[in-house]
Structure 1
Amino acid sequence: MPDDPTCPLCLRPIPEGAKASRHHLVPKLRGGKGGPTVLLHHICHREIHATLSETELARDYDTPEKLRQHPRLAKFIAWVAKRPPGFQSKIPGPRRR
């Protein structure tokens, strides 16, 4: 059996059956249609889009490494690292600035 894929944001495995989604490294509306994507935990993907605008993503945060360096995302990663790999928040978070 192959290893579970690893989320490039939080670096935890994405277990089979866990909710996951594809993230365009450059948003589609900012020229990323057909560009590279990465598979993320759904909770990690939601946090990226709650934190950064599409313009910010395209201009400054177009790699997983750059995303991990963002202060708010770094704090989220430290928090989510303590949860099991299939963890899903039951309460949707508001978009924060």
Structure 2
Amino acid sequence: MSYKNGRDILPPSLLKQLQDYIQGEIVYIPKKEQKRAGWGENNGTRLIIERRNREIYRMYTSGTTIVELVQSFHLSEDSIRKIITKMRLHMAAETQHA
């Protein structure tokens, strides 16, 4: 954040209005509100994990055991079980909306 002189960047009418409220002080003007990207949306991590989770679920429904999935994806058994449960619910919801 850098210091800017209001006289250099503001229209004279706005500068006069601001001087009615505050003079000779430093004022922070926040950025406009903008929607922040969710975790992993900008760098593709979210998509990579979603694809991995779909693959885990596909392999599980094709007969791959949880122990084999743990070894293949280097995740804990608990993580694999959570992914399978989440994907099962997700797929059921997609089927209902189709």
TM-score past 0.5 threshold: no
Query: What's the TM-score, normalizing by structure 1?
Result: 0.20
> Which structure would you say has the larger RCO, counting Cα contacts within 8 Å and 6 or more residues apart?
1
Q: Choose 1 or 2 for highest CA Rg.
A: 2
